[in-house]
């Protein structure tokens, strides 16, 4: 059953990055657009994201519920050491959600739209940066666990783990990945007017993602991080990086062509590879801790809990996934199903 639980953990993470990420990215694209394009994007986002918007953001709840139910000690270390960026991310999520409903449901369209738009765009950028910083904090091997001989200072325990250049780079990288996903998604959703805009944005975003990815990994390497070393020494992750580089060629080609189906597929492949590269080399150590080694699979919840959780996830998945699929299909978000 632990395999089922791990599968759903990875699956929720993937879907949150893909769907939630594309959603954050839409705001980032709006932020970095000319005024005319902002209007087009706002309209497109409402039409495209509106129906699935809430569902996209529930994956993170599923993710943390699985974490705390099945891996309680892991969860405890995370929420204690990364308390501050998690709180900041939550505020970002709150403001972004509020700005989204306000700008689409305010009965009058007037000057207050400027505030909503601004809030939506800025929180769309800031929230994924914090999300990335949280993940950066998890893997930057700066988290410390107090022991009997060692009591960390406030900064060591609650600030340094996430407030460091590497985490920040991971944050920026994740935000750029969101923008990239969104641009590719919007290629397929835009009308005549928006189409060339998103092809161009997707091209720019691809370049930014590649450059930032390279900078993040190199910084990690030169600052001699345990995390990057693990990636380089592991044949699986190295081959995945090579595969990801090779896949950039067809990705670029399909984006340039504005192909609605294959640009999405290759963008999805990139995300899967990035997540795999980040998680596989050190697995089952997801949290990299300075003074200890902590495996996700140690101290899991008792078997009775894992069993019930696994069954709940299977039943829940059996209800939710067809519903979600039907929702995406009804609002024509799955392009491959459409006859052209």
Partner 1 sequence: MENIDAARLQMAFTLIFHIVFACIGMVMPFFMVVSHKKWLNTGNPVYLQLTKAWQKGVAIFFVIGAVSGTALSFELGLLWPEFMEHAGPIIGMPFSLEGAAFFVEAIALGFYLYGWNKIPPKFHWFTGVIVGIAGVASGILVVSANGWMNAPSGFDYVDGKFLNIDPVAALLNPAWFTQALHMVLAAFTATGFAVAGIHAIQILRNKQKEIHKKAFKIAITFGAIAAILQPISGDISAKDVAKRQPVKLAAMEAHYETAKGVPLYIGGIVDHQQKEVHYKIEIPNALSFLAFGDFNAEIKGLNDFPEDEIPNVPIVHYAFQIMVGLGGILLFAGLFFFFVNARKKQWLSKKFFWKVFALLTPAGFIALEAGWIVTEVGRQPWIIHKIMRTKDAVTPMPGIVYSFFLYVILYSILTLAVAWLLRRQIKSLNNTPKLSV
Q: Which is nearer to partner 1, 54 or 191 (CB)?
A: 54
Report how far residue 14's alpha carbon sits from residue 11's, in angstroms, rounded to the nearest whole number. 5
3-state SS class at 293: strand
Q: Which is nearer to partner 1, 51 or 268 (CB)?
A: 51
Report how far residue 331's alpha carbon sits from residue 329's, in angstroms, rounded to the nearest whole number. 5
Q: Which is nearer to partner 1, 58 or 248 (CB)?
A: 58
Q: Which is nearer to partner 1, 91 or 278 (CB)?
A: 91
Report how far residue 337's alpha carbon sits from residue 257's, in angstroms, rounded to the nearest whole number. 20
Name residues whose C-beta falls within 8 Å of residue 75's C-beta, 6 or more positions apart in sequence: 64, 67, 68
Q: Which is nearer to partner 1, 82 or 251 (CB)?
A: 82
Tell me the CA distances in angstroms from 209 to 135, 204, 215, one per residue in order: 17, 9, 10
Residues making contact with partner 1 (CB under 8 A): 50-55, 57-58, 60-62, 64-66, 68-70, 72-73, 75-76, 78-80, 83, 86-87, 90-91, 93-98, 100-102, 105-108, 146, 154, 157-158, 301-302, 304-305, 308-309, 312-313, 315-316, 319-320, 323-324, 327, 330-331
Longest distance between any two alpha carbons in the chain, whole Å: 68
* Letter string b/e over residues 223-249, b meaning 16 or more CB atoms within 10 A of that residue's CB: eebebbebbeebeebeebbeebeebee
Instruction: Give the shortest CB-13-to-partner 1 separation in angstroms.
Output: 15
Q: Which is nearer to partner 1, 205 or 333 (CB)?
A: 333
Instruction: Give the shortest CB-146-to-partner 1 separation in angstroms.
Output: 8
Q: Which is nearer to partner 1, 28 or 301 (CB)?
A: 301
Instruction: Give the shortest CB-225-to-partner 1 separation in angstroms.
Output: 25
Q: Which DSSP category does 52 fall into?
A: G
Tell me the CA distances in angstroms from 135 to 129, 139, 172, one per residue in order: 10, 6, 12
Which tokens in the block code for residue 305?
């809990």
Q: Which is nearer to partner 1, 106 or 191 (CB)?
A: 106
Are 25 and 178 in contact by the 8 Å Cβ rule? The answer is yes
Instruction: Give the shortest CB-59-to-partner 1 separation in angstroms.
Output: 9
Instruction: Give the shortest CB-79-to-partner 1 separation in angstroms.
Output: 4
Q: Which is nearer to partner 1, 95 or 248 (CB)?
A: 95
CB-CB neighbours of 142 under 10 Å: 23
Report how far residue 256's alpha carbon sits from residue 266's, in angstroms, rounded to the nearest whole number. 13
Instruction: Give the shortest CB-60-to-partner 1 separation in angstroms.
Output: 7
Report how far residue 122's alpha carbon sits from residue 23's, in angstroms, rounded to the nearest whole number. 13
Instruction: Give the shortest CB-217-to-partner 1 separation in angstroms.
Output: 29
Instruction: Give the shortest CB-326-to-partner 1 separation in angstroms.
Output: 8
Instruction: Give the shortest CB-12-to-partner 1 separation in angstroms.
Output: 10
Helix axis angle, 165-189 relative to 195-222, nearest 10°? Answer: 160
258 Rama sector, left if φ>0, alpha if ψ -120 to 50, beta otherwise:
left
């Amino acid at each position: 059953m632990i395999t089922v639980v791990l599968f759903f953990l990875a699956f929720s993470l993937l879907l949150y990055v893909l769907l939630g990420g594309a959603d954050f990215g839409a705001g980032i694209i709006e932020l970095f657009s000319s005024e005319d394009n902002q209007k087009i994007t706002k309209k497109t986002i409402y039409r495209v994201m509106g129906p699935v918007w809430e569902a996209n953001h529930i994956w993170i709840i599923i993710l943390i519920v699985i974490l705390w139910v099945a891996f309680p000690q892991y969860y405890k270390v995370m929420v204690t050491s990364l308390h501050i960026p998690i709180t900041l991310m939550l505020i970002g999520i709150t403001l972004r959600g509020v700005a989204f409903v306000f700008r689409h449901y305010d009965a009058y369209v007037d000057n207050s739209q400027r505030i909503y738009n601004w809030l939506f765009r800025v929180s769309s950028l800031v929230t994924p940066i914090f999300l990335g910083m949280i993940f950066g904090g998890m893997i930057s091997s700066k988290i410390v666990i107090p022991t009997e001989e060692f009591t960390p200072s406030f900064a060591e325990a609650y600030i340094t783990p996430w407030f460091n250049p590497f985490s920040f780079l991971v944050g920026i990288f994740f935000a750029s990945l969101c923008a990239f996903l969104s641009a590719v998604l919007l290629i397929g959703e835009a009308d005549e007017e928006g189409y060339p805009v998103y092809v161009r944005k997707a091209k720019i975003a691809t370049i930014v993602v590649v450059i930032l990815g390279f900078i993040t990994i190199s910084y990690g390497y030169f600052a001699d991080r345990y995390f990057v070393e693990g990636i380089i020494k592991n044949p699986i992750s190295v081959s995945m990086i090579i595969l990801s580089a090779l896949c950039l060629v067809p990705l670029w080609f399909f984006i340039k062509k504005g192909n609605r189906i294959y640009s999405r597929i290759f963008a999805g492949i990139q995300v899967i590879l990035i997540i795999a590269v980040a998680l596989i080399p050190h697995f089952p150590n997801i949290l990299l801790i300075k003074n200890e080694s902590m495996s996700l699979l140690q101290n899991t919840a008792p078997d009775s809990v894992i069993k019930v959780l696994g069954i709940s996830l299977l039943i829940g998945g059996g209800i939710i996934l067809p519903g979600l699929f039907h929702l995406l299909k009804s609002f024509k978000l799955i392009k491959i199903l459409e006859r052209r």
